Homo-oligomer: A and B are copies of this chain.
Amino acid sequence: MNKRDRKTNMKKDQFNIPEGMIYLDGNSLGPLPVAASARVQKTLQDEWGKLLIKGWNEAGWMQQPSGVGDRVGALIGAPKGTVVLGDTLSIKVYQALAAALNMNPDRRIVLSDSGNFPTDLYMAEGLLDTIDKGHELKTVASQDIESALNEDVAVLMLTHVDYRSGRMYDMERLTAKAQSFGIVVIWDLAHSAGAMPVKIEKSNAEFAVGCTYKYLNGGPGAPAFIYVRSDLTDTVQPALSGWLGHSAPFAFEQKYRAGAGIERMRVGTPPIIQLASLEAALDIWDGVDLNDIRERSIALSELFIKEVEARCPQLKLASPRDPKERGSQVSFAFEEGYAVVQALIARDVVGDFRAPNIMRFGFTPLFIDEDYVLKAVQILEDIMTQSVWDNPQFKKRSAVT
């Protein structure tokens, strides 16, 4: 264990995590930053409360989506002016895919992997049905993506880090290979932003999308982001042509004219209260080196795997063994995984479950260290050896798993 790194990255005092809880689910919903309450209060009381409608100008609300976009951009290797916040990740997927298809009008295949997060596939389905020109959403297993690339494919749309297994693609290499066939590339960074250094500009991908409520800790329902490669921001076609993406929103013109640069990817009125919370969360990232975060998250997940495999032989590693092929989460497969996760939660070790049999544990060095990992495995071992999970109370499913 490297003492320097632990000191560098651990910022647990900047989060409100309940005493005793070991939170291994920052990959699903990041914890509350201590500063978020005051920041949100300021937006409510000093901005909305005092300025009312004038907040749009005087509190800078109108510029927040691109201002915060630049801050998120800094965490994913995107230059200023290429990232904007707004909407949900689902909407941003739709927006990116519509724009990407426009760039390849003669091709009909959208390629993704069958393990992609469902909403990405669902939104693609909805868009292709709407376009109704014989497009096909083709999904193959992740290991078959590369061989499925060819000149019939219009768009390659992938999630960088798999939400279930944590399997991570080589973004640069895949993008280059896809582009060699003239394919437009979209990366979903939901499980990457804040988890590791992402070099989206360097990857040369045309588009990326992501959310800010996981590793970035923006809060439940924090807005999504979209990245557009800088040479395209002034020409990309926004299908979701909302007024705040218009060149002159307050001229109230009849016809849509896309705004300059990344602003055109805005749609409607930005969620100012959510953005306030997100800004407080981003403050924590100031000065954090994502290379250090990555190094620490690998150390933590390696330790977790080693300990679980030694102490809980019933669980089977469902993530790549090579840390270079993994994101910042580790998954184990177990038929009764749902009940085990519930038993863990009952003992304040919070991971989550993804159907059909995946137990997920996220390692977020801002608030998790080796001591927590060891304690979590200790409790997991207790649960497994004593078959605690077999208690019917843990088998009853909640609406949200």
Q: List A residues at the B interface (Cβ < 8 Å).
A: 16-18, 21, 23, 25, 28-29, 31-32, 36-37, 40-41, 44-45, 48-50, 52-57, 61-63, 87-91, 94, 98, 114, 117-119, 121-123, 125-127, 129-133, 139, 164, 211, 213, 219-224, 237-244, 246, 249-256, 267-275, 277, 345, 350, 352, 354-355, 398-401
Is the pair A219, B41 in contact by a Cβ cutoff of 8 Å? no
Residues of chain B within 8 A (CB-CB) of A240 are: 90-91, 94, 123, 126
List 10 additional A-B contacts (Cβ < 8 Å) besides A40-B273, A251-B355.
Answer: A18-B49, A29-B53, A29-B56, A52-B350, A87-B87, A88-B242, A125-B256, A126-B239, A221-B272, A223-B271
User: How many whole Å from A98's CB to the nearest CB in chain B?
Assistant: 6
Question: Chain B: which residue is nearest A24 at the CB level?
Answer: B53
User: How many whole Å from A80's CB to the nearest CB in chain B?
Assistant: 19
Residues of chain B within 8 A (CB-CB) of A88 are: 87, 242, 267-269
Is the pair B122, A243 in contact by a Cβ cutoff of 8 Å? yes
Is the pair A399, B268 in contact by a Cβ cutoff of 8 Å? no
Report if A268-B224 is in contact (Cβ < 8 Å); known contacts: A32-B44, A45-B16, A252-B355: yes
Is the pair B126, A220 in contact by a Cβ cutoff of 8 Å? no
- Which 8 residue pairs of A and B lie closest in terms of their CB atoms, listed nearest first? A88-B268, A126-B241, A119-B243, A221-B271, A90-B242, A90-B268, A220-B272, A122-B256
Is the pair A221, B52 in contact by a Cβ cutoff of 8 Å? no
Is the pair A250, B44 in contact by a Cβ cutoff of 8 Å? no
User: How many whole Å from A42's CB to the nearest CB in chain B?
Assistant: 11
User: How many whole Å from A40's CB to the nearest CB in chain B?
Assistant: 6
Instruction: Select which of B28, B50, B54, B274 is within 8 A of A345 by beta carbon.
Output: B54
Q: Please, how many angstroms separate the alpha-carbon atoms of A31 and B52 in the complex?
A: 6
Report if A268-B131 is in contact (Cβ < 8 Å); known contacts: A220-B61, A350-B53: no
Instruction: Select which of B32, B244, B255 is within 8 A of A125 by beta carbon.
Output: B255
Q: List 25 A-B contacts (CB under 8 A).
A: A31-B49, A37-B41, A56-B400, A63-B399, A89-B269, A90-B267, A90-B268, A94-B240, A117-B243, A118-B253, A121-B254, A122-B246, A122-B256, A125-B256, A126-B240, A130-B131, A132-B133, A211-B269, A213-B269, A220-B271, A250-B355, A251-B355, A252-B354, A273-B274, A273-B277
Most interface-central of A62, A122, A250 (chain B CB within 10 A): A122
User: How many whole Å from A219's CB to the nearest CB in chain B?
Assistant: 6
